[in-house]
Structure 1
Amino acid sequence: MRRTWSRLGFALIAAVLVPAGPAAAQPEQLPVDYSVAAFVTGAMNAHAPYDSPGANDWSCVPTAEHPQPVVLVHGILGNGAGWPAMSPLLHNNGYCVFSVTYGIYPWQSGALAGTGGMAPIADSSKELRDFVDRVLAATGAEQVDLLPWSEGTLVAARYLLVDGGADVVDQVFNLAPIYAGTDVADPLVNAVFALGIQDPVFASLRPTCQGCVDMLPVSANIHELQAAGVYAPGVQYTNLLTRADTEVVPYTNGYREAPNATNIVLQDVCPVNFAGHNSISVDPTVAALMLNTFGTPTEIPCAPSPTPYI
Structure 2
Amino acid sequence: MRTLAGVVAALAIMGSTAGAATAEPTGSTPLDTVTACPATARADAPVLLVHGTHADVEQSLGPVRQGLLEDGRCVYGLDYDSDESLSTSVDYFAAAVDRILAVNRAKTLDLVGKSQGALIARAVSLRFADRDVNPIRTVVAVSGPQHGTSVAGLRLPAGSSLPQGLPFLSPAMADMLAGSPYLTRLDSGPTVAPGVRYVMTATAYDEIVTPYTTAFIDAPGVTNLLVQDGCPEDHTGHLAGTTDPRTVDLVLHALDPARHPTVRCVANDNRK
Tell me the TM-score normalized by structure 1: 0.69
Matching residue within 144, 155, 168 for 2:120: 155
Contact 2:86 2:172 survives alignment (8 Å): yes
Distance in 2 between residues matched to 1:185 and 1:229, nearest whole Å: 28
Amino acid at match of 1:298: P
Contact 2:48 2:110 survives alignment (8 Å): yes
Please state if 1:129 is matched with 2:106: no
Q: CA RMSD in A?
A: 2.8
CA radius of gyration, larger in: 1
| Residue number in structure 2 paired with 1:301 | 264
| Residue number in structure 1 paired with 2:103 | 138
Amino acid at match of 2:96: F
What SS does structure 1 have at the residue aligned with 2:176? coil
What SS does structure 1 have at the residue aligned with 2:112? strand
What SS does structure 1 have at the residue aligned with 2:187? helix
Distance in 1 between residues matched to 2:17 and 2:203, nearest whole Å: 20
CA positional deviation for 1:269: 3.1
| Residue number in structure 1 paired with 2:22 | none
CA positional deviation for 1:225: 2.3
Please state if 1:290 is matched with 2:251: yes
What SS does structure 1 have at the residue aligned with 2:220? coil
Please state if 1:80 is matched with 2:57: yes
| Residue number in structure 2 paired with 1:89 | 67
1:95-106 equivalence runs, <5 A = 95-102=73-80, 104=81
Amino acid at match of 2:106: A
Distance in 2 between residues matched to 1:137 and 1:85, nearest whole Å: 27
User: CA deviation digits over 1:103-145, x for unaligned, max 9?
Assistant: x2xxxxxxxxxxxx10010010011112222222233321111
Please state if 1:244 is matched with 2:205: yes
Amino acid at match of 1:232: A
Contact 1:145 1:171 survives alignment (8 Å): yes
1:25-40 equivalence runs, <5 A = 40=17
Amino acid at match of 1:305: N
| Residue number in structure 1 paired with 2:6 | none
Please state if 1:120 is matched with 2:85: yes
In structure 2, relative to structure 1, the CA distance for the partners of 1:212 and 1:306 (3 Å cut) is: same
Contact 2:199 2:225 survives alignment (8 Å): yes
Amino acid at match of 1:126: D
What SS does structure 2 have at the residue aligned with 1:230? coil
In structure 2, relative to structure 1, the CA distance for the partners of 1:250 and 1:199 (3 Å cut) is: closer
In structure 2, relative to structure 1, the CA distance for the partners of 1:123 and 1:246 (3 Å cut) is: same
CA positional deviation for 1:177: 2.0
Contact 2:122 2:139 survives alignment (8 Å): no
Distance in 2 between residues matched to 1:232 and 1:163, nearest whole Å: 8
In structure 2, relative to structure 1, the CA distance for the partners of 1:260 and 1:123 (3 Å cut) is: same
CA positional deviation for 1:304: 1.2
| Residue number in structure 1 paired with 2:5 | none
| Residue number in structure 2 paired with 1:222 | 183
| Residue number in structure 2 paired with 1:180 | 147
The structure whose residues are more often helix, as a share, is 1
What SS does structure 2 have at the residue aligned with 1:147? strand
- Number of paired residues? 238
| Residue number in structure 2 paired with 1:275 | 236
Contact 1:179 1:226 survives alignment (8 Å): no
1:184-199 equivalence runs, <5 A = 184-187=151-154, 198-199=162-163
In structure 2, relative to structure 1, the CA distance for the partners of 1:181 and 1:48 (3 Å cut) is: closer
Distance in 2 between residues matched to 1:264 and 1:223, nearest whole Å: 24
In structure 2, relative to structure 1, the CA distance for the partners of 1:238 and 1:198 (3 Å cut) is: closer
Distance in 2 between residues matched to 1:222 and 1:256, nearest whole Å: 13
Contact 2:37 2:74 survives alignment (8 Å): no
Distance in 1 between residues matched to 2:58 and 2:265, nearest whole Å: 27
CA positional deviation for 1:163: 5.5
In structure 2, relative to structure 1, the CA distance for the partners of 1:84 and 1:162 (3 Å cut) is: closer
In structure 2, relative to structure 1, the CA distance for the partners of 1:48 and 1:223 (3 Å cut) is: closer
Amino acid at match of 1:72: L
